[in-house]
């Protein structure tokens, strides 16, 4: 089995939550996902994200995809 290389996508959920004075639990409730799943994303351990979840996150946070996710150099 080939060794999986780590991805370079970084999630900026911590910063966005702090700027909006919002908790991870409140975001999870509004988006309709579990706190555990958002925590995995927030800690850059996610391997994938559904477009529907990404869309909901951006709508609730009032941001664009590029504000939430970037690719590190």
pLDDT in tens, 8-67: 999 999 999 999 999 999 999 999 999 999 999 999 999 999 999 999 999 999 999 999
- Of the CA atoms within 13 Å of residue 45, those in its CB half-sphere come to 6
Domain boundaries defined on the chain: 9-68
pLDDT of residue 6: 76
8 Å CB contact between 38 and 31: yes
The CATH number of the domain covering residues in 9-68: 1.10.260.40
């Amino acid at each position: 089995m080939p060794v999986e290389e780590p991805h370079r996508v970084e999630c900026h959920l911590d910063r966005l939550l702090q700027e909006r004075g919002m908790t991870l639990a409140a975001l999870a409730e509004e988006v309709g996902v579990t706190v555990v799943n958002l925590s995995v994303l927030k800690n850059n351990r996610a391997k994938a994200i559904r477009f529907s979840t990404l869309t909901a996150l951006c709508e609730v946070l009032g941001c664009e995809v590029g504000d939430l996710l970037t690719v590190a150099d």
